[in-house]
Amino acid sequence: MSPHRLVVEHFIGKITKGLEVNHKDGNKHNNRVTNLEIVSKSENEKHKYHTLGYKIHNLKLTKEIASEIRKKYKTKKYSYPDLAKEYGVSHMTIGRIIRRAQISYL
């Protein structure tokens, strides 16, 4: 078991199936309990994108986030690339969300 999982399970609680450990500061070597939290895979991937600044290609979005994306796009203040960068997905995924094409949600 990894050190961060040991710290979380000892000090925070059991990590149930489908959840992961997130390093709040983005440093995977900082395993202090104050730097760790239990989150969903989607939350962890979004945090990685916003903290580390790289694109996560397989991020699955909730229906609520998809709705939020559509509302932002309707304002005409956001382009596909703007939304793709903000949510850590490709501009093609944003297009599918806007067009309500078949897409996997969490």
Q: Which residues of 6-22 are buried (b: 16+ CB within 10 A; e: fewer)?
A: ebbeeeeeeeeeebbbb
Determine contact, residues 59/87, Cβ cutoff 8 Å. yes
- For 38-92, write each residue's pLDDT tens digit: 999 888 877 776 665 544 445 557 778 888 999 999 999 999 999 988 887 888 8
pTM: 0.50
According to the model, what pLDDT value does residue 17 have?
A: 92
In the chain, domain spans = 3-52, 55-106
